[in-house]
């Protein structure tokens, strides 16, 4: 069923595609305030030689440097991101007191909102409130973009892996609860 979440997630997917087209890890996101996109971003880690330039950080910096909003704005924002936020981004979002997060597919290697850690809900992190995080919106598309990316070779890696024998898989396992 088509919901408002699908509409915004499609925007995030377009940004992920843009990242892919620029040889970046295909993750994209949009921040939505009162049904309006106020900032968007996609991964730029290769371009910037900076492993922390994830889509979320790109969008957050865009919003804060626009001069239109203060950091309090995130308390009223919803984030749509194609892949579950990593541990770093999960705690960044908690510090910003994000209202809600919707994502496409889980991030089993780095995910901080349910996969590796539960940074979004961990009760011992008392400085900032917990937030809700829900996955599964355009999950298959998000996964396929990542797979397409990871069968390419990363020339920036110190020792690039040879991957010419890899085949793109298309079957997708059902979501874990």
Partner 1 sequence: MDQTLPFKYVLSDEESRSLETVDVYVSDVKPNETEPIIKFIKKYCPREEILDHVKRIKKTSYDKGFTLTVLICSVESITFTELIALIKNHNLDLILKPRIQQVCKYPAITRTQFDEWRKLWPINFYEDPTRKLKFTLKEIENVEQYMEKAIKLSIQAKLKGEIPIGCIMIDPKNNVILSESFDTRNSTKNPLRHAILNCINNVASSEKSNCLEKSNKVEIIQNQKVDNVVINFNSESFSYQQKDDNNNENKITYLCKGFDIFITHEPCIMCSMALVHSRIGRVFYGHSNTVSGGLGSCYKIHAHNSLNHHFKVFKELLQHKIDALSIDC
Q: How far is the CB of 96 from partner 1 (least distance, A)?
A: 6
Q: How far is the CB of 68 from partner 1 (least distance, A)?
A: 13
Q: Contact 37/31 with Cβ under 8 angstroms? A: yes
Q: How far is CA 135 from the centre of its chain?
A: 11
Nearer to partner 1, 158 or 174 (CB): 158
Q: Contact 134/121 with Cβ under 8 angstroms? A: no
Nearer to partner 1, 9 or 27 (CB): 27
Q: Which long-range contacts (CB under 8 A, 24 or more apart) does 90-93 make?
A: 90/117, 90/119, 90/120, 91/119, 91/125, 92/56, 92/57, 92/60, 93/56, 93/120, 93/131
Nearer to partner 1, 6 or 23 (CB): 23
- Interaction site with partner 1 (CB under 8 A): 45, 48-53, 57, 60-61, 64, 70-71, 86-92, 95-96, 109-110, 112, 116-117, 119, 122, 124-127, 156-158
Q: How far is the CB of 163 from partner 1 (least distance, A)?
A: 17
């Amino acid at each position: 069923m088509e919901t408002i979440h699908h509409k915004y997630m499609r925007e995030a997917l377009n940004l992920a595609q843009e990242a892919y087209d620029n040889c970046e890890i295909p993750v994209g996101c949009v921040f939505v305030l009162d049904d309006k996109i106020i900032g968007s971003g996609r991964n730029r880690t290769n371009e910037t030689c900076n492993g922390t330039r994830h889509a979320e950080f790109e969008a957050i910096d865009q919003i804060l440097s626009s001069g239109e909003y203060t950091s309090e704005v995130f308390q009223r924002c919803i984030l749509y991101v194609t892949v579950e936020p990593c541990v770093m981004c999960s705690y960044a979002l908690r510090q910003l007191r994000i209202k809600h997060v919707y994502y496409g597919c889980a991030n089993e290697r780095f995910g901080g909102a349910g996969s590796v850690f539960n940074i979004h809900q961990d009760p011992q992190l008392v400085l900032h409130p917990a937030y809700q995080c829900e996955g599964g919106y355009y999950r298959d598309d998000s996964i396929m973009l990542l797979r397409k990316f990871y069968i390419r070779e990363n020339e920036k890696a110190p020792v690039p892996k040879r991957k010419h024998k890899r085949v793109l898989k298309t079957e997708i396992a059902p979501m874990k609860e």
